[in-house]
Amino acid sequence: MRHIAKVFMLLVACWVPLAGATTEADLTAQVRESSERMIERFENEKNLYHENPERFYRLMEESLEEIVDFRRIAARVMGRYARQATKEQRDQFVVVFKKSLFNAYAKTLVESGDFKVAVLSSSINARDDSRASVELEITSPSGSKYPITYSMYHNKQDDKWYIENVIVSGVNIGLAFRDRFDQEMSARRGNLDQVIANWTSQIAEEEFEAEPN
C-alpha cells in the first residue's frame, strides 16, 4: 500500500547513527533527537531531487547506508536461498535490492509533504542487550496516524545501533519482501541468477501496493 511505502522511506531517511545507548530511556531520547534533526535536514535538501537528482540519490544512499544494514536485510529477504548463493550472488542482490528501494520511493519521499514523528518508547531485549525495539507514531499531513516499530541491533565493533527491520501498521517489511523472493524463485524455477537480475523497483512497488488497508 502506498502509504506504507511512504512511511517506510520517511523513517529510514530521517535517521542518523546512534551511539551505544545503554538504557531504554537513553535510546528513546537519542531516537527522538535524531529524528528531529534529520527531518530538518531532509526538508532543506529535498529540492535536490529536481535540481540535481544524481546528488540527491547519492546523499540518500550515503544516509541510508549509515543506519540500515542492507547486507543483513538482503540476506533475510533471500531467506534459505542465501545459504545456497555464492558470495558474488549475495553481493549482487544487496546492490539490486537497495537500488529497487531508492528508485521506487524517491519521488514518494520528496512529495510526502509535512509529517510529524513521535517517539513513544524503547525496549532493550532482556535476554540480549544487543537487540532493541523502538515504538514510534507518524502523523501524515492529512492527520492519519501510523504505528511504527524499529527492530534494531547494537554493533559492538563501532558501538552504534542500526535498523535491521521496520514494521509499519502491522506490516513486517522484511517478511513481506522475503515472501516475494520465495514467489520469484518459484516463478523462475529456482534460478537464483534470474531472480537477482530481474529484481527491480517494480517489485518493490507491487509489494507495498499488495498490502491491505
Q: How confident is the model at residue 70 (pLDDT cuts 50, 70, 90)?
A: confident
C-alpha distances out from residue 78 to 61, 121, 169, 173, Å = 21, 31, 23, 13
Domain span at residue 38?
A: 2-209
The answer to whether residues 16 and 37 touch, using CB atoms and an 8 Å cutoff, is yes
- For residue 123, the domain's CATH number is 3.10.450.710
Which residues pair with residue 124 across a beta bridge?
132
Q: How confident is the model at residue 11 (pLDDT cuts 50, 70, 90)?
A: low
> To the nearest whole number, what is the mean pLDDT of the chain?
81
Which residues pair with residue 172 across a beta bridge?
167
> Residue 25: its pLDDT value, please?
81
> Residue 38: its pLDDT value, please?
65
Residue 190: pLDDT over 80: yes
The answer to whether residues 31 and 165 touch, using CB atoms and an 8 Å cutoff, is no
Centre a 10 Å sphere on the Cβ of residue 187 and count the other Cβ atoms it contains: 12
- Say how far residue 62 (Cα) sits from the centre of its chain: 13
> Residue 213: its pLDDT value, please?
47
Quote the pTM value.
0.78
C-alpha distances out from residue 122 to 70, 130, 192, 193, Å = 22, 13, 38, 40
The residue-averaged pLDDT of 176-194 equals 96
Reduced to 3 states (helix: H, G, I; strand: E, B; else coil), residue 169 is coil
Q: How far apart are CA 58 and CA 61, in angstroms?
A: 5
Q: Give the number of domains in the chain.
A: 1
Cα 66–Cα 57–Cα 30 angle in degrees, nearest 5: 30
> Residue 22: its pLDDT value, please?
64
